[in-house]
Amino acid sequence: MRQHDRDSSEAGVAAEALLAEAGHDRVAVLPVGAGVRHRRPEGAWDGIPWISTKFQSIRRWAVPDFSVEADAGLTMASLNAELAGRGQWLPAGTPDGGADTLGGLVSAGLSGVWAGGYGLIRDRILAMTVATPAFGVVRLGAPVVKNVAGYNLWRLYWATHGAFGLILTITWKLAPLPRAAATLECAGDGPGLAAAFAEARRWRSAANAWAALLLNLRGPRWTLAGVAHGGDAHVERLRRELGATVQPQGDLGAARAQGCPVAWQARLPLAGLPPFLEWIARSGAHGLAELQSGVVWGFRDSPDPQRLDEVAALARQHGGSFRSLSEPWPAPSVPAAEGDMWRRLKASVDPQGVLPALGGDAEGKR
């Protein structure tokens, strides 16, 4: 047995003390990040907050191994600013900026604009340190890029809003910063998105690995932006073949939602994406889709932002998932067929129920 090298860091000690106090006093613990998204769970706020932003360091950065362990309270933007100094980055982040904490991103299950070219941020998690009521501070996973030693316990913390414990640190697999980047753009007007989809197909057949391929929808107008990471020669070839405009920087160009906060995120199977986006376009909402990964965001400046239920139902109807990012967060749903198993697991991790609860079955939520 490995020496029980319990996380003796300040965060670990504080988290254990907080959980112990909550257990003793029978009060709830509420994990809080930067507060840029949800502010509290559904129902009454009555408990002790765990404020992750008190801890914002990089714990260990193995530069040659492209991995970094950082506190959950560090923001995406701060981490990437630091990593850039050594030519590395974590290709993650929602279109409205990098103010999310790393722990918040994981707990809320946020996808990034680079999901198409670099994979889901979830798949870049190598390890985590978490504080649990029953098992104390534990390390899950290992700081290596491949590891199948036991169950994938760190995945319990993806999009479950702290129901299984407080995330203290996360170890990420990093990517090298691209050597060159450029954004190609073209735009068009409705009605309908047939022309946009045809153009996107043409772009995908010109290059089947865009760092991001984004369709920005705003009323009848659409913009297609392809971010190419690579060398000048290939950007030049794409520009020639596609007849698109090249934006000087490799950022998201006009597709970036300038300062506009995200209201919701959906993930659609690729086959369900076109009808879903057609609906968004018809509704006049402001949306952004990454066409290789099926991730779609809706923005708060949509003319009619009250229709979250309708958007959620539509995403699910097309086999997708939906996360509201502007409401009190819902408890993570548990399918009825798995209810007993999850309740047993939750009870063994959190016997006194001090952590955020699991929800019930969510009809059609897969």
Residues between 253 and 312 that touch other proteins (CB under 8 A): 267-272, 293-294
- Please give the helix or strand (H or E) that residue 366 lies within, else none: none
18: left (phi over 0), alpha (psi -120 to 50) or beta: alpha
Minimum CB separation of residue 255 from other proteins in Å reads: 21
The stretch among 35-43, 148-156, 184-192, 248-256 that binds other proteins (CB under 8 A) is: 148-156
- Per CB under 8 A, does 202 bind other proteins? no
- Per CB under 8 A, does 2 bind other proteins? yes
264/326 Cα distance (integer angstroms): 7
30/357 Cα distance (integer angstroms): 10
Minimum CB separation of residue 96 from other proteins in Å reads: 19
Minimum CB separation of residue 30 from other proteins in Å reads: 19
Site for other proteins in 208-237 (CB under 8 A): 208-209, 230-231, 233-234, 237
- Per CB under 8 A, does 129 bind other proteins? no
- Per CB under 8 A, does 149 bind other proteins? yes
Q: List beta partners, residue 181.
A: 229
Q: Which is nearer to other proteins, 2 or 26 (CB)?
A: 2
- Per CB under 8 A, does 366 bind other proteins? yes
355/50 Cα distance (integer angstroms): 10
Amino acid sitting at position 176: P
- Per CB under 8 A, does 338 bind other proteins? yes
Q: What are phi and psi of 315, to 5 degrees?
A: -60, -45
71/184 Cα distance (integer angstroms): 35
- Per CB under 8 A, does 349 bind other proteins? yes
- Per CB under 8 A, does 142 bind other proteins? yes
The stretch among 42-50, 71-79, 211-219, 355-363 that binds other proteins (CB under 8 A) is: 355-363
- Per CB under 8 A, does 351 bind other proteins? no
Beta strands in 27-75 (DSSP E): 28-32, 47-51, 58-62, 67-71
Minimum CB separation of residue 123 from other proteins in Å reads: 5
280/303 Cα distance (integer angstroms): 12
Q: List beta partners, residue 175.
A: 89
Minimum CB separation of residue 295 from other proteins in Å reads: 8
- Per CB under 8 A, does 134 bind other proteins? yes
DSSP 175-223: EEPPSSEEEEEEEEE-SSSHHHHHHHHHHHHH-S--SEEEEEEETTEEE
221/134 Cα distance (integer angstroms): 53
Q: How many angstroms separate the most distant Cα atoms in the chain?
A: 67
Site for other proteins in 44-73 (CB under 8 A): 62, 64-67
Site for other proteins in 157-186 (CB under 8 A): 158-160, 175-177, 179
The single residue listed with the structure tokens 């809706």 is 298
User: Using CB under 8 A, which of 46, 151, 304, 363 touches other proteins?
Assistant: 151
Q: Which is nearer to other proteins, 21 or 65 (CB)?
A: 65
User: Using CB under 8 A, which of 75, 107, 132, 247 touches other proteins?
Assistant: 132
